[in-house]
Chains A and B, each alone.
Chain A
Amino acid sequence: MSRNRQLLRYFVKSWPSFAAGGVALLATNLLALSIPRQIGAAVQHLRDAADTASIDVSAVESLAWTIAALALGAAVARVVSRVFIFNAGRQTEYRLRNELFAHLTRLDRAFFERSATGDLTSRVVNDVTFVRLMFGFGVLHVVNTAIAYVVVLSLMLSVSPKLTLYSLLPYPIIFFTVRLFTKAVYTRTQAVQAQLSAISARAQENLSGAMVVRAFAIQDRENDAFRALSDEYVERNLALARVRGALMPYMGVIGGLGMLIVLWLGGLETIREGITLGEYIEFSAYIVTLAWPTMAMGWVLSMWHRGTAAFDRLGVILDAKPSVAPPATGALHLPAISATSGEIQFEGVSLTYEDGTEALRGVDLTIAAGTTVAIVGRTGGGKTSLVHLVARMRDPTAGRVLLDGVDLRDVDPVEVRGEIGYVPQDPFLFSMTVEDNIRLGERPGSGLTVDDAVRIAGLSDDVEILSNGLQTLVGERGVTLSGGQKQRVTIARAVMRAPRVLVLDDALASVDTRTERRILDELAAVMKGRTSLVVTHRFSALELVDEIVVVDEGRVAERGSHEALLALGGIYAGLHRRQQMEEEA
Chain B
Amino acid sequence: MSAETSTDHRDEAEVSAEQARDGRIAVRLWAFIRPYRVLFALCMLLLPVASALSLLQPHLIQLAIDNHFVPRKEEGLGLLVLAFAATILAEFFLRYAQIYLMELAGQRALRDLRCAVFAHIQRLRIAYFHRNPVGRLMTRLTSDVDSLQEALSSGVVTIIGDLFTLAAIVVILLAKNWRLALVTFAVVPVLLGVSFVFRLLIRAAYRVLRTKIARLNADLQEAVTGMGVVQLFVHEEASKAAYDEVNRDHRDAAYKSIRWDAVLYAIVEMIGSIAIAGIIWWGAGEAVAGYATLGVLVAFVEYVQKFFIPIRDLSQKYAVVQSAMASAERLFELLDSTEIIEDAPDARPLDGFEDRIEFRNVWFTYTDEDNWVLRDVSFTIDKGERVAFCGHTGAGKTTIIGLLTRMYDIQRGQILVDGVDIRELRLRDLRRRFSVVLQDGFLFAGSLRDNIAMRAGEVDEARLREASAVVHLDRLIERYPQGFEHPVRERGVNLSSGERQLVTFARALAHRPDVLILDEATANVDTETEALVQAAVEALLQHQTSVVIAHRLSTIEKVDKIVVLHHGEVAESGSHAELLALGGLYARLVELQYTDPTRRGADA
Contact of A223 among B119, B284, B552, B602 (CB under 8 A): B119
Closest Cβ of chain A: how far from B436's Cβ, in Å?
5
B235 touches A440 (CB 8 A): yes
A532 vs B434: C-alpha distance when bound (angstroms): 41
Closest Cβ of chain A: how far from B4's Cβ, in Å?
18
Contact of B526 among A196, A377, A440 (CB under 8 A): A377
A424 vs B456: C-alpha distance when bound (angstroms): 34
A380 vs B529: C-alpha distance when bound (angstroms): 11
Q: Known: A105-B236, A125-B142, A417-B234. Is A510-B393 also a contact (CB below 8 A)?
A: yes
Q: When each residue 470-503 of chain A gets 1 if its CB lies under 8 Å from chain B and 0 otherwise, what string results?
A: 0000011101101111001000010001000000
Q: Does B305 contact A (CB under 8 A)?
A: yes
SS class of chain B's interface: helix, strand, loop or mixed?
helix
A83 vs B298: C-alpha distance when bound (angstroms): 36
B266 touches A78 (CB 8 A): yes
Closest Cβ of chain B: how far from A388's Cβ, in Å?
10
Query: Interface with A: B177-185, B250-258, B411-419, which one?
Result: B250-258
A422 vs B235: C-alpha distance when bound (angstroms): 14
B84 touches A582 (CB 8 A): no
Q: Does A203 contact B (CB under 8 A)?
A: yes
Interface hub of A67, A93, A253, A537 (most chain B Cβ within 10 A): A537
Q: When each residue 437-464 of chain A gets 1 if its CB lies under 8 Å from chain B and 0 otherwise, what string results?
A: 0001100000000000000000001100
Closest Cβ of chain A: how far from B434's Cβ, in Å?
7
Q: For residues 437 through 484 of chain B, which have their beta carbon under 8 Å from a beta carbon of chain A?
A: 438-440, 442, 444-445, 454-456, 476, 479
The count of residues in chain A whose C-beta lies closer than 8 Å to any C-beta of chain B is 184
Chain A residues whose CB sits within 8 angstroms of the CB of B213 once the complex forms: 125
Closest Cβ of chain A: how far from B48's Cβ, in Å?
16
A64 touches B239 (CB 8 A): no
Closest Cβ of chain A: how far from B93's Cβ, in Å?
8
SS class of chain A's interface: helix, strand, loop or mixed?
helix
A109 touches B228 (CB 8 A): yes
A511 vs B552: C-alpha distance when bound (angstroms): 9
Closest Cβ of chain B: how far from A339's Cβ, in Å?
25
Chain B residues whose CB sits within 8 angstroms of the CB of A484 once the complex forms: 392-394, 551
Chain B residues whose CB sits within 8 angstroms of the CB of A539 once the complex forms: 527, 596, 598-599
Chain A residues whose CB sits within 8 angstroms of the CB of B95 once the complex forms: 248-249, 252
Q: Does B380 contact A (CB under 8 A)?
A: no
A578 touches B528 (CB 8 A): yes
Closest residue of chain A to B499, judged by CB? A380
Q: For residues 195 through 222 of chain B, which have their beta carbon under 8 Å from a beta carbon of chain A?
A: 213, 216-217, 220-222
Chain A residues whose CB sits within 8 angstroms of the CB of B530 once the complex forms: 537, 578, 582
A378 touches B131 (CB 8 A): no
Q: Does A328 contact B (CB under 8 A)?
A: no
Chain A residues whose CB sits within 8 angstroms of the CB of B156 once the complex forms: none
Q: Known: A90-B251, A211-B442, A380-B498. Is A112-B227 also a contact (CB below 8 A)?
A: yes
A243 vs B563: C-alpha distance when bound (angstroms): 67
Closest Cβ of chain A: how far from B491's Cβ, in Å?
8
A566 touches B601 (CB 8 A): yes
Q: Does A397 contact B (CB under 8 A)?
A: no
Contact of B551 among A104, A121, A268, A511 (CB under 8 A): A511
A82 touches B142 (CB 8 A): no
Contact of B273 among A67, A122, A204, A393 (CB under 8 A): A67
B527 touches A578 (CB 8 A): yes
Q: Known: A101-B220, A440-B235, A510-B520. Is A576-B269 also a contact (CB below 8 A)?
A: no
A280 touches B499 (CB 8 A): no
Q: Does B81 contact A (CB under 8 A)?
A: yes
Q: List 6 A-B contacts (CB under 8 A).
A: A112-B227, A249-B99, A380-B495, A413-B231, A483-B440, A563-B601
| 14 additional contacts (CB under 8 A) given A94-B250, A440-B229, A582-B555 | A39-B301, A71-B269, A74-B270, A79-B266, A82-B265, A105-B227, A220-B455, A250-B92, A271-B74, A424-B228, A539-B599, A575-B527, A583-B557, A583-B593
